[in-house]
Copies of this chain bind each other. A is one copy, B any other.
Amino acid sequence: MTVSFTPNLLGPRVDERLAAFLDGWRAPVTDQDVVAAYRLLIDFILTGGKRVRPQLCYWGWRGAGGEDCEEIISAAASLELCHAGLLIHDDIMDGSELRRGRSTVHRSLAHLHAGPGAEAFGQAGGILLGTLSLAWSDALLSSCGVEPARLRAAHHLFDAMRAEVISGQYLDILSQLRTGASVEQALTTIRYKTAKYTVERPLQIGGALAGGTPELLASYSAFGLPLGEAFQLRDDVLGTFGSSEETGKSALDDLRDGKQTVLFAQAVERATPAQLAYLRTWHGNPELAEEHAAEMRQILLDTGAIDRVESMIEERAGQAVEALDAAPIMPEARVALTALTAQLAHRDS
């Protein structure tokens, strides 16, 4: 089953809040190139993105009995600023050219200043703009207007989330140095890099802002972790088999960067010696072209790695639905999170 992301009502509210917040952050210097860099960053933040983390944060709040209000929209929007900053840094680390169907931020900066040194300038500028977006994230969360004790509790979770996602990303880059991560190792990476960061913590941050009980926050873990893993497993499949029109990213990046995905680990476990030799030759090879990617995709199919990952997604989506059924949350939130579960596990972009 494939369900497209349906336009949601929250997205536009989050975007509006982000636009208003960012409008208050003009470049502190008048230099036109700094102003242009701010514009580029703000444009990246406001254009594209599925606002997954803000939606989960919002429904985490509603699930805990929080009423719809502007404070939770601000807090939810702050997660998008964090995400934008991490994506900008991630694209530098991976040397990616495309994001959200457009040039990545560091590539755009390099284009703005074509000439000797443009490449290094783009990377340096991208590090700075990513850090700025991360700082804005914290500024928006800290000023969202929720009462101080609850904000403190949520901020602790926000702090944990940042340490977790960074550790997960660190595991991810380590795995590219180590040939042959096991399925188990690849699952640990996505638990930190994605499942906690994208689903569990956003739900819990919303829940904590609304004064949710420890029992409620634990139920968000039980629901969020398997759903987050399913989300990343789907992302890995789309990253290799999706078209760049759909995903906004190159379908060669994961293979060329040698990403030790669960999908790849499943293929390695099942490959014949000849298939294995091919995978080892081209995985992480900067010379990889579309023809090699096509052959690798065929191996992912022929070994049954794809089927296995699809089963893993189903298992985890099932676990998430079960945990959601048992969670002590408000009915509207249950309905919304059930719909989000299907979208996140089965999306096609």
By a beta-carbon cutoff of 8 Å, the part of chain A in contact with chain B is: 25, 27-29, 31, 33-34, 37, 85-86, 89, 92-93, 95, 113, 115, 117-118, 120-121, 123-125, 127-132, 134-136, 138-139, 142-143, 148, 152, 155-156, 159-160, 162-164, 166-171, 173-174, 176-177, 188, 192
A31 near B162 with CB under 8 A, answer no
Residues of B near A129 (CB, < 8 A) are 166
Main SS at interface, chain A: helix
Extra contacts besides A89-B127, A134-B135, A142-B155 (13): CB < 8 Å: A27-B167, A29-B167, A29-B192, A93-B128, A113-B177, A121-B176, A128-B169, A128-B173, A131-B131, A132-B162, A134-B134, A138-B138, A139-B155
Residues of B near A163 (CB, < 8 A) are 25, 28, 132, 135
Please list 25 pairs of residues, one from A and one from B, whose beta carbons are closer than 8 Å in the complex, sorted by A's number. Answer: A27-B167, A28-B164, A28-B192, A31-B174, A34-B171, A85-B131, A86-B131, A89-B128, A93-B127, A93-B128, A113-B177, A117-B176, A117-B177, A121-B176, A125-B170, A130-B131, A131-B131, A132-B162, A135-B159, A135-B163, A139-B155, A139-B159, A142-B142, A142-B152, A142-B159
CA distance A143 to B142 in the complex (A): 11
- For the complex of A and B, the 7 pairs showing the least CB-CB separation, nearest first, are A93-B124, A139-B159, A135-B162, A148-B148, A138-B138, A124-B173, A132-B166
Nearest-neighbour CB distance to chain B for A131, whole angstroms, equals 6
Residues of B near A159 (CB, < 8 A) are 135-136, 138-139, 142
Residues of B near A170 (CB, < 8 A) are 33-34, 37, 125, 128
CA distance A86 to B134 in the complex (A): 13
* Contact A34-B174, Cβ < 8 Å, known A28-B192, A131-B166, A163-B135: yes
A28 near B139 with CB under 8 A, answer no
CA distance A170 to B87 in the complex (A): 19
